Amino acid sequence: MKKFLVFAGVDYSPAGGIRDLIGTTDDIESAVRLSDEEDLINGEDLKYDWAHIFNVETGETECYRFNDGKWGKNDVWFPNLATLEKENAKLLGEI
């Protein structure tokens, strides 16, 4: 089983549960790239409006993004995923 489940959708309201699963990956970078891809719906390319990346190993949502492009975790928002990862590293004492 892959480490990350990637859920995303083109509408703010999710389709619900497994119907929003767009893929699985082993690393966070691939998960983010997957959530940034466009989806082909009814013959039209649409960018995902939102994404949630779930970590199977920890049982927690790793991070999430809404249509403003900002990534967040635990209701704290960051301008991009790199800033979020740096903040996580600080919290874990890695920096």
Per-position pLDDT tens, the chain of length 95: 899 999 988 776 667 778 889 899 998 888 888 887 766 655 666 777 888 888 898 888 877 777 666 677 766 656 666 666 676 666 555 54
CA dist., res. 48 & res. 7, Å (int): 10
- Predicted confidence at residue 5, as pLDDT, reads 93
- Whole-number pLDDT of residue 10: 77
Task: Give the pLDDT score at 36.
Answer: 78
Indicate the pairing of strand 50-55 with strand 44-47.
unpaired
What is the pTM (predicted TM-score) of this model? Answer: 0.69
Please state the length of the chain.
95
Residue 85 has phi, psi (to 5 degrees) of: -65, -40
What is the DSSP track for 19-40?
A: GGEEEEESSHHHHHHHHHSEEE
Per-residue confidence (pLDDT) for residue 1, from 0 to 100: 82
pLDDT at 43: 62
